[in-house]
Amino acid sequence: MQLSARNQLSGTVQTVKSGAVMAEVTVSVEAGDITAAITDTSRERLNLKEGDRVSVIIKATEVMIATE
């Protein structure tokens, strides 16, 4: 699949927490861990489970940096 998003990271699913409506999926990538909140329906459709190799695609209009 080709996407226009530039921020694409390959990683491994570490944890999947299902809820009534939303699921929380944590993926380990080279730079660390990224957690995504997706619908539980999407989690089920993708059949996500620990150990799966996935792509994390980040499409954002803003990136902010803060200091103390």
Mean pLDDT over residues 11-16, rounded?
98
CATH code for residues 7-58: 2.40.50.100
pLDDT of residue 65: 80
> What are the residue boundaries of the structural domains of the chain, listed by start?
7-58
- In angstroms, the CA 7 to CA 11 distance is 13
Question: Quick one: pLDDT band at residue 48, thresholds 50, 70, 90?
Answer: very high
Closest CA to 25 of 1, 51, 48, 44: 48
Answer yes or no: is pLDDT of 54 > 80. Answer: yes
- pLDDT for position 59: 82
pLDDT band (50, 70, 90) for residue 7: confident
- For the segment 47-54, the average pLDDT, to the nearest whole number, is 97
Question: Is residue 54 packed enough to be buried (19+ CB in 10 Å), middle (13-18) or exposed (0-12)?
Answer: middle
